[in-house]
Structure 1
Amino acid sequence: MSLFSADNGESDLYLSRTDPESPFGTHAAFSFELEGKIWPTVEHYFQGMKFTDEVWQEKIRAAATPGLARKLGRKRNKSFRRDWKQVRETVMTRGVYVRCRTHPELTEQLLKTRDQKIVENSNFDYFWGCGRDRRGDNCYGKVLMNVRDKLREEQESARA
């Protein structure tokens, strides 16, 4: 699969959330504005939103790479916001959605997947990914499919 192509066949689309070459990944370098700031990647935004400490959020937002933002977002000496487990999927969805609305080429690529099942292919992540045994929650894949549905609805409403 090239950077901007989707297999429109019957098979599921497996991707890595951390692949910077995947237009659907959180590490892809497509910046967007949210919460009054420009975020370099969805990963920067997601990791930053784990915290209420604005200085720490800014440190994450300004991280040189998505990998560094992720590392900073996993620091256990900083406390996550109390409602993080309840809002993390909403935060991820907002980041992916706003990035797609900011970069129409991403919307186009996501819509090209039609009704294909999108799977975050992680052997180790059973929440965001499918896990080694493919029985994980695949929440990141679900986020992408939900954003795709919302973008499709908006596109159809605009035509009507």
Structure 2
Amino acid sequence: MSDTSIYFYRRNEPFGEFSNFSISPIELDGYTWPTTEHYFQAQKYISNETHFQNILQLATPREA
């Protein structure tokens, strides 16, 4: 049986487009998110509009 797993750790390596840090904007919940990492982190502050909006505006997924 062959291994069909793929591994992705960095956005500039093979399969990097699957990383949360990949610069691939998505539209979700009425917002355009720069990365899925921005969306993921903002969900921690869904009840705090200030933090939520700050994360949405951050320039990089690492900052988010």
Give the alignment's TM-score, normalised by structure 1: 0.35
Give the alignment partner of residue 23 of structure 1, picking from 17, 21, 25.
Answer: 17
1:13 maps to 6
Unpaired runs of at least 5, structure 2: none
Cα distance in 1 between the residues matched to 2:62 and 2:18 = 16
> What stretches of structure 1 move > 2 A for 4+ residues in a row?
none
Give the alignment partner of residue 34 of structure 1, picking from 14, 21, 28.
Answer: 28
Give the alignment partner of residue 61 of structure 1, picking from 53, 56, 59.
Answer: 56
Shift of 1:55: 1.2
Cα distance in 1 between the residues matched to 2:26 and 2:6 = 25
Give the alignment's TM-score, normalised by structure 2: 0.81
Residue by residue, what CA displacement relative to the aligned partner does 1:46-80 show, whole Å, maximum 9, x if unpaired? 000111211111101111100000xxxxxxxxxxx
Q: What residue identity is the alignment partner of 1:60?
A: I
Q: What residue identity is the alignment partner of 1:32?
A: I
Unpaired runs of at least 5, structure 1: 1-9, 70-160
Cα distance in 2 between the residues matched to 1:20 and 1:67 = 12
**Percent identity of paired positions between Structure 1 and Structure 2:** 34
Matches within 5 A, 1:8-157: 10-11=2-3, 12-16=5-9, 19-21=10-12, 22-51=16-45, 52-69=47-64
